[in-house]
Amino acid sequence: MLILDLDDTIFETKSMNPKIFDEAIDIIKNYYTDREEATDSEKVIQALWSIPVDEVFTKYKTEEYIKAKFYKKKLRR
């Protein structure tokens, strides 16, 4: 089970090395960079550190296939 708690609900995630999230963050960067809409991928990534991920995906209208890809992606250790 993988619990994504980037918004510090369970513990202070900023105490972790952010590199472990690189692969998941790359999914977000690539998705928002490739879209025709002018959503800044860096805004979305910053939001992940302060807002629950499901709320971020709703706010930025993330497509279902990207959500699935994000949640299934194995993170580096």
Q: Which of 9, 76, 1, 69 is nearest to 57 (CA)?
A: 69
Mark 50-73 as b/e (b = at least 16 C-beta within 10 Å). ebebeebbeebebeeebbeebeee
Give percent of the chain above pLDDT 90: 6
Q: 0.85 cut: is pTM over it?
A: no
Q: How far apart are CA 37 and CA 52, in angstroms?
A: 22
In the predicted model, is pLDDT for residue 62 greater than 70? Answer: yes
Within 8 A by CB and 6+ apart from 76, the residues are 19, 20, 22, 23
